[in-house]
Amino acid sequence: MAKTATGIDVGSRSAIALKGSWKGGTFHVTNVATGENHAGDIGSGWASLAPEFKLGRSRVGISGREVNVRYTRVPAVPDWQLRNLMRFEVQEIGDQSGAEVASDFNLLPRPPEIDGEDVVLLAMSRESLLDEHLSGLSTAGGTLDAYSPASIALYNAFVRYGVVQDDTVLVANIGHETTDVVLVRGADLLFARNLSGGSKLFDEALMQRLDMGASTAESVKIEHVDLTPGARPRSAETEKATRSVMGAAGQLTSLLQSAVMFCKTQVKLSGLKVDRVLICGGGAGLAGLPEYLSAGMGVPVHVFDAFHVVDVSALSPEDAETLEAHELEAVVALGLATMASDTDAYSLEIVPAGIAKKREFFGGTLWLIGAAVLGLGFLGFKAKHMAAKLDQVQGVNKGLASRVRRMRSIHENTEELVASNAELALRTEALQGIAGSGEQIARSLSFFDQNLPRDFWITRVESSFESDEELGVDRKKERPILVVRGQLREGVDSPTAQFQSMINKLQVEMPKAAVNTGLDRQAFSVDMTLFAPPDPSSQEAESNEEDA
């Protein structure tokens, strides 16, 4: 059965909860709730959410200054050693900041540029931030699954619902105060980070340049700003508002470019080049922003439509309309819900220390205590049962001991016979070799006497026990080898043909002989043995013929 989970993203301008399950290769949305966070803090964001459904098990996204996502390159080490390394690093950072820190880590796919090392993605958050979210989640009626960086949720949303190719993509979720970015090559995560700065840069520019309040600036930004390069202003208000935010637009462009540079430096991928950019979040809805960023970064920039492959058929018409209006802001919530319901998703799961201890106790320690009690009871029963068995076994043991003594005597006699047989086998092999050597010389000399061409004569004949790899006689398995050397008259007709004809006759008369021949001007050589081990391929062929 598919796991149902809720992904919740509470930002400084909006709060979104998305509930559903991952099955059949996509996410099926069953409920959605949104809220407007006018006060801009975490508490008011949770208060604005007010879902009309039960949140249940919830994965909450975290971002901002109190969340730190960093990289560590370590040698390839066992899992237990890697956990210790990460624990020491988290303790050191916690001691430096003077605050309680919760963390989690996961390995990144190793880029081909990095050899012999692992790249570890370590995410840390202040416990105080997690406590704020936990208070809001409890009030909303949800139970905590885990906290995850919004950037990791963004990555999961892209690899599940984006167009994944073999290129390098920068995906950015532009919020009001923060921007979460990931760099993905193919389906592999290279880099994840939360950056300070978002659509608030435009509000502040309008407030400063046009001397207006925050709410007015946000309205002007939405209604009049158009960053499309070369676009003709619709009105004087549009021209004035757009000019006022050009500096902020440049800041946002630099922010994204700095993320790429930081990735090159920290992960040490100096040749990294971004091929395209996808943007989402509330800030991505600003008119002309994709075109402006594309001109500034020199690559295509598009709005990330994550919901075109998501199943929303279970939503009511009102909820479907609400989700459609907030699709850009809901991408992180979608990634969070996917992570919580899909066990194969890449994940970082940060849990406060108190909850982690409870889960460890109920998920591990309590079971160990129960197992220990059952084990002690079983051992008591087993001890009583085995005492009775012991008496029975001791009686059987006495009878077996007598049989062992008899078997040992037989074994010793057998070893003596085996040693004697081995010695006799060596002597037999030597005698067979001597006899075989004589037979080989006799048969070979008889053959050469009858078949040696008229203008050929033999100058040397030797027979010895040797190894010869070309004849198939391996070392330590020496066999009688006959060495024949000879010469031929200068100017003899067709010496090669005559010599080959003789060798062919030799192989016909002695088909089991292994022969190595040579002919060089006025000299010839024949190395042969009748005692080479049989060729396995020839044995197999003979066996096949017999079967046929």
Beta-sheet pairing, 276-280 with 301-303: parallel
- Could you read off the pLDDT of 516-540 as tens digits, one per residue? 999 887 899 999 998 887 766 655 5
pLDDT of residue 105: 92
- Could you read off the pLDDT of 420-456 as tens digits, one per residue? 888 887 777 667 667 778 888 888 889 988 999 988 9
pLDDT of residue 326: 95
Query: What is the number of domains present in the chain?
Result: 3
In a domain, 411, yes or no: no
Separation of alpha carbons 217 and 211, rounded Å: 9
374 confidence band (pLDDT: 50, 70, 90): confident
Torsion of the alpha carbons at 84, 87, 88 and 93, rounded to the nearest 10? 160
Separation of alpha carbons 313 and 288, rounded Å: 31
Separation of alpha carbons 513 and 342, rounded Å: 70
- Same-domain pairing of 343 and 296: no
Got the DSSP string for 113-174? T--SEEEEEEEEEEHHHHHHHHHHHHHHTEEEEEEEEHHHHHHHHHHHHS---SSEEEEEEE
Amino acid letter, 88: F
Q: What number is the average pLDDT over the span 322-333? A: 95
Longest Cα–Cα distance of the chain, Å, equals 122
Higher confidence at residue 31 or residue 381? 31
In a domain, 363, yes or no: no
Please give the helix or strand (H or E) that residue 353 lies within, else none: helix 353-360
pLDDT of residue 42: 93
Separation of alpha carbons 153 and 137, rounded Å: 18
- Same-domain pairing of 323 and 223: no
pLDDT of residue 536: 62
pLDDT of residue 537: 60
Higher confidence at residue 431 or residue 493? 493
pLDDT of residue 217: 92
Q: Is 229 helix (H, G, I), strand (E, B) or coil?
A: coil
Q: What is the mean pLDDT of the chain?
A: 88
In a domain, 537, yes or no: yes
- Same-domain pairing of 295 and 335: no
Higher confidence at residue 284 or residue 409? 284
Separation of alpha carbons 517 and 503, rounded Å: 8
Q: Is 327 helix (H, G, I), strand (E, B) or coil?
A: coil
Separation of alpha carbons 496 and 292, rounded Å: 85
In percent, how much of the chain has pLDDT > 70? Answer: 94
- Same-domain pairing of 324 and 462: no
Higher confidence at residue 268 or residue 244? 244
Residue 363 has pLDDT above 60, yes or no: no
Q: Lowest-confidence range among 180-184, 385-389, 433-437, 468-472?
A: 433-437
- Same-domain pairing of 1 and 143: yes
Q: In terms of Cα–Cα distance, which of 380, 229, 356 is closest to 290?
A: 229
Q: In terms of Cα–Cα distance, which of 288, 261, 120, 289 is closest to 189?
A: 120
> Rounded to the nearest 10 degrees, what angle do helices 366-451 and 495-509 cross at?
120
Residue 543 has pLDDT above 60, yes or no: no
In percent, how much of the chain has pLDDT > 90? Answer: 55
- Same-domain pairing of 312 and 254: no
pLDDT of residue 417: 87
Q: What number is the average pLDDT over the span 26-47? A: 93
Beta-sheet pairing, 514-520 with 479-488: unpaired
Torsion of the alpha carbons at 116, 71, 106 and 99, rounded to the nearest 10? 140
Number of other CB atoms surrounding residue 224 within 10 Å: 21
Q: Is 30 helix (H, G, I), strand (E, B) or coil?
A: strand
pLDDT of residue 428: 73
Q: Lowest-confidence range among 83-87, 113-117, 222-226, 413-417?
A: 113-117
Separation of alpha carbons 417 and 409, rounded Å: 13
CATH number, domain with residue 221: 3.30.420.40
- Same-domain pairing of 134 and 230: no
Q: What number is the average pLDDT over the span 15-29? A: 94
- Same-domain pairing of 135 and 176: no
For residue 297, the enclosing domain spans 163-303
pLDDT of residue 364: 54
In a domain, 362, yes or no: no
- Same-domain pairing of 42 and 130: yes
Name the most confidently modeled range: 259-268, 272-281, 470-479: 272-281
339 confidence band (pLDDT: 50, 70, 90): very high
- What is the pTM for the complete model shown? 0.66
Beta-sheet pairing, 523-529 with 479-488: antiparallel
pLDDT of residue 77: 86
pLDDT of residue 542: 55
- Same-domain pairing of 137 and 171: no
- Could you read off the pLDDT of 170-226 as tens digits, one per residue? 999 999 999 999 999 999 999 999 999 999 999 999 999 999 999 999 999 999 999
pLDDT of residue 473: 86
- Could you read off the pLDDT of 148-170 as tens digits, one per residue? 999 999 999 999 999 999 999 99
In a domain, 225, yes or no: yes
The last residue of one of the domains, among 303, 329, 363, is 303
The last residue of one of the domains, among 286, 320, 351, is 351
Got the DSSP string for 158-186? HHHHS---SSEEEEEEE-SSEEEEEEEET
- Same-domain pairing of 184 and 288: yes
Please give the helix or strand (H or E) that residue 421 lies within, else none: helix 366-451
CATH number, domain with residue 337: 3.30.420
Those residues with Cβ within 8 angstroms of residue 353's Cβ, 6 or more apart along the chain or in another chain: 100, 102, 127
- Same-domain pairing of 222 and 332: no
In a domain, 29, yes or no: yes
In a domain, 156, yes or no: no
Q: Is 47 exposed, middle or buried (0-12, 13-18, 19+ CB in 10 A)?
A: middle
pLDDT of residue 399: 78
Q: What number is the average pLDDT over the span 325-353? A: 93
Residue 43 has pLDDT above 80, yes or no: yes
In a domain, 412, yes or no: no
Please give the helix or strand (H or E) that residue 286 lies within, else none: none
Those residues with Cβ within 8 angstroms of residue 162's Cβ, 6 or more apart along the chain or in another chain: 169, 171, 278, 304, 306
Q: What number is the average pLDDT over the span 389-412? A: 82
H runs (alpha helix) in 245-316: 246-266, 289-297
pLDDT of residue 59: 95
Specify the DSSP class assigned to residue 75: E
